[in-house]
Amino acid sequence: MIRLLIVDDHPLILEGTRALFQNEKEICISTQINPQKVLSQMAIEKYDVYLVDVNMSLIDGLTLAKKIRGYQPQAAIILYTGDDISNYYSFVLNQQVNGVLSKTASQKELIRMVYEVMDGNIVISKHFLEFVNHQLNHAQMKMNLSKKEQQLLRYLNQGYTNKQISESLFVAQRTVERYLQQLYSHLQVSGRDEAIKKMHQEKLLKSM
């Protein structure tokens, strides 16, 4: 029996996702609408697979996935998102999560991924293989940061708080948190201090 915890702060989406598994007798479903309660729930019962919405208000899915992995290193984690899934390929490549799936995926694809990650496998698409090939081809080259990532690094180096960054970029603070998590994954660092250190060590910004 696979114990699956679905985490999503949208009630209708949470129940809709749960319903997709209703005929799977080998999967025992639990749900959590409040991502802040996941760790306390894990203290009572650990799960085999965690299906985590990326865009949540109290804690974004990337931060929650990191907390789950810290509390339960062997946990199988799937990011579930309405965004372009290629934005999160680096998290799979760096083994921070076991898979990423679009909310537009079919019921069959969702169920298959749960079984596959439970078996220790990674379900990948052709686009993911292209992403990995790109990473390998550029492994020895200077890291090519997007304009957004360069701007984020400048803000970090200037000591901006997440709130100040959100005000400067005219986006929500939780969006900034997601941007930063993606930047840290790209740089393969754990936080802002390491990001700033790597920025200077590798001279990632030509103007600095």
Mean pLDDT of successive 10-residue stretches along the chain, which has 208 residues:
96 95 94 96 95 92 94 93 81 82 91 93 68 56 72 94 94 93 88 90 68
For the record, the structure tokens of 50 come out as 């965690």
Cα–Cα–Cα angle for 102, 172, 194, nearest 5°? 80
Take residue 67 and report the two structure tokens written for it. Answer: 């907390």
**27 and 21 in contact (C-beta within 8 Å)?**
yes
Give the pLDDT confidence score for residue 47 in this predicted structure. Answer: 96
**Which tokens in the block code for residue 55?**
């865009």
Q: How far is CA 202 from the centre of its chain?
A: 25
Query: What pLDDT is recorded for position 82?
Result: 87
pLDDT score, position 92 = 77
pLDDT in the model for residue 89? 78
Residue with tokens 């005000």: 167
* pLDDT given at position 58: 87
DSSP-assigned states of every residue in the chain: -EEEEEE-S-HHHHHHHHHTTTT-TTEEEEEES-GGGHHHHHHH---SEEEEES--SSS-HHHHHHHHHHH-TT-EEEEEESS-GGGGHHHHHTTSSSEEEETTS-HHHHHHHHHHHHTT-----HHHHHHHHHHHHTTTSPP---HHHHHHHHHHHTT--HHHHHHHHTS-HHHHHHHHHHHHHHHT-SSHHHHHHHHHHTT--TT-
> 131 pairs with which residues across the strands?
none
pLDDT of residue 130: 67
For residue range 74-97, list pLDDT tens digits in order: 999 999 998 888 778 778 777 788
How far apart, in whole angstroms, are the C-alpha atoms of residue 112 and residue 117?
Answer: 9
Q: How far is CA 16 from each of CA 6, 51, 111, rounded to the nearest angstrom?
A: 11, 13, 14
Q: What pLDDT was estimated at residue 113?
A: 93
- CA-based torsion, 92, 97, 100, 106: positive or negative: positive
pLDDT given for residue 143 in this prediction = 56
According to DSSP, the β-strands at 49-53 and 76-81 are parallel
pTM: 0.67
